[in-house]
């Protein structure tokens, strides 16, 4: 029989329905294979094809927007939101709107086209996290921004328009709904129990172990109890902390190692799946320090979202997280 499960943070229910499929890894998916592309604007040597860099790592005296870097951050050439202008909140009869003020940046994670977060050295992945944190710290100085989301689309099926490994940052003038639901849920838990719900989850998952995938000194990877998607994986810092951008450097190093490990496990078990990755951190300027707990979510793109999900917001997941965790635990690197 299928099971309805409730996410303890947001209160969102999912249906875990494993009866329709054979093995937990049977998906018709588009494996992501990177092919060299001489027209790629993110490759080293093509710096003139992008907007001017905001930040670069690895330059030993080379000039901005020239070769000789290990990581670059640039404004998105086609930003969905722009820094210039004013919000101009206004009504349109019954409706509400404002100008698309925000920021949209791209972190080019490697000068080489064929690298991914799964193949890069841990030090290079750590550089990506470090650059993301630095950009968040800088963007937070603009008081119009209420939230800065860091995310990644890997593979065309996961929405990537360029295949060269990159992450994106979008600064928003509004705290978005998914984050609001997490923050409100975590506050509700804290008000009742005076404990962080994520710390409670970590403690239970460490004791239970069925949904535990991998861990190191600072970070734990689990399959969440009520995942929306098959093989959805969360990585949480053991230490309570609301803000990703204020984590100590050794936590970025630990996250980089565990993230690479998890992505290599997924590549092996799920045949190089497309995926989305996101970092949930607390909203800018809200006193969430006691109850919010930053974390990473990885969502392999294995199934199609259909009418039922759009109609209800209720997700149908054909793989139990206990099965997914076991598959990923059992991968031999």
User: Which are the catalytic amino acids?
Assistant: 166
Restricting to residues 14-33, name those near a second copy by CB under 8 A: 15-17, 19-20
Q: How far is the CB of 176 from a second copy (least distance, A)?
A: 3
Restricting to residues 178-207, name those near a second copy by CB under 8 A: 178-179, 181, 197, 200-201, 204
Q: Should residue 2 be labelled a site residue for a second copy when binding is judged by CB under 8 A?
A: yes
Confirm if 48 and 41 have CB atoms less than 8 A apart.
no
Candidate residues 39, 192, 306, 330; the one interacting with a second copy per rule CB under 8 A? 306
Q: Should residue 235 be labelled a site residue for a second copy when binding is judged by CB under 8 A?
A: no
Task: For the beta carbon of residue 275, count every other beta carbon within 10 angstroms.
Answer: 28
Q: How many residues does the chain have?
A: 333
Q: How far is the CB of 227 from a second copy (least distance, A)?
A: 12
List the structure tokens of 119.
């193949």
Q: Should residue 307 be labelled a site residue for a second copy when binding is judged by CB under 8 A?
A: yes
Q: Which residues pair with 278 in a beta bridge?
A: 151, 297
Q: Should residue 3 be labelled a site residue for a second copy when binding is judged by CB under 8 A?
A: yes
Stretch that binds a second copy, among 29-37, 245-253, 255-263, 300-308 (CB under 8 A): 300-308
Stretch that binds a second copy, among 44-52, 61-69, 138-146, 303-311 (CB under 8 A): 303-311
Confirm if 154 and 33 have CB atoms less than 8 A apart.
no
Candidate residues 129, 160, 212, 282; the one interacting with a second copy per rule CB under 8 A? 160
- Distance between CA 158 and CA 300 in Å, rounded? 8
User: To which H or E segment does residue 190 belong?
Assistant: helix 177-193
Closer by beta carbon to a second copy, 174 or else 331: 174
Q: How far is the CB of 175 from a second copy (least distance, A)?
A: 9
Please tell me the count of residues contacting a second copy according to CB under 8 A. Answer: 73
Candidate residues 168, 246, 286, 326; the one interacting with a second copy per rule CB under 8 A? 168
Angle formed at CA 223 by CA 304 and CA 214, multiple of 5 degrees: 130
- Distance between CA 161 and CA 159 in Å, rounded? 6
Q: How far is the CB of 79 from a second copy (least distance, A)?
A: 8
Restricting to residues 89-148, name those near a second copy by CB under 8 A: 92-100, 147
Confirm if 315 and 228 have CB atoms less than 8 A apart.
yes
Task: For the beta carbon of residue 23, count every other beta carbon within 10 angstroms.
Answer: 9
Q: Which residues pair with 13 in a beta bridge?
A: 6
Q: Should residue 258 be labelled a site residue for a second copy when binding is judged by CB under 8 A?
A: no
Q: Should residue 294 be labelled a site residue for a second copy when binding is judged by CB under 8 A?
A: no
List the structure tokens of 292.
């919010």
Residue 215-234 contact track with a second copy, rule CB under 8 A, x = bound? ----------xx--------
Sign of the C-alpha dihedral computed for residues 42, 48, 49 and 55 taken in this order: positive
Closer by beta carbon to a second copy, 121 or else 208: 208
- Distance between CA 218 and CA 256 in Å, rounded? 11
């Amino acid at each position: 029989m299928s099971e309805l499960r409730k996410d303890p943070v947001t209160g969102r229910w999912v249906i875990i329905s494993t009866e329709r499929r054979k093995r937990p890894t049977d998906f018709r998916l588009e494996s992501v294979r990177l092919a060299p592309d001489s027209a790629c604007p993110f490759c080293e040597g093509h710096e003139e094809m992008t907007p001017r860099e905001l930040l670069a790592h690895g330059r030993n005296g080379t000039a901005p927007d020239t070769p000789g870097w290990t990581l670059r951050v640039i404004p998105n050439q086609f930003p969905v939101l722009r820094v210039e202008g004013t919000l101009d909140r206004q009504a349109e009869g019954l409706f509400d709107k404002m100008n698309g003020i925000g920021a949209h940046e791209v972190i080019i994670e490697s000068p080489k086209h064929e690298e991914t977060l799964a193949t890069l050295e841990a030090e290079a992945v750590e550089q990506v996290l470090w650059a993301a944190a630095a950009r968040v710290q800088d963007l937070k100085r603009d008081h119009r921004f209420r939230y800065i989301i860091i995310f990644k689309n890997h593979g065309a099926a996961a929405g990537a328009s360029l295949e060269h490994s990159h992450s994106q940052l979008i600064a928003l003038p509004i705290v978005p709904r998914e984050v609001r639901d997490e923050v409100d849920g975590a506050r509700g838990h804290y008000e009742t129990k005076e404990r962080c719900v994520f710390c409670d989850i970590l403690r239970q998952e460490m004791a239970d172990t069925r949904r535990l995938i991998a861990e190191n000194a600072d970070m734990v990877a689990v399959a969440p109890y009520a995942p929306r998607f098959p093989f959805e994986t969360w990585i949480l810092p053991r230490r309570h902390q609301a803000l990703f951008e204020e984590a100590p450097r050794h936590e970025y190093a630990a996250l980089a190692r565990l993230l690479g490990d998890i992505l290599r496990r997924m590549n092996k078990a799920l045949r190089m799946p497309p995926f989305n990755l996101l970092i949930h951190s607390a909203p800018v300027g809200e006193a969430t320090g006691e109850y919010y707990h930053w974390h990473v979510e990885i969502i392999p793109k294995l199934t199609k979202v259909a009418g039922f999900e759009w109609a209800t917001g209720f997700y149908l997941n054909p793989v139990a997280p206990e099965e997914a965790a076991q598959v990923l635990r059992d991968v031999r690197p």
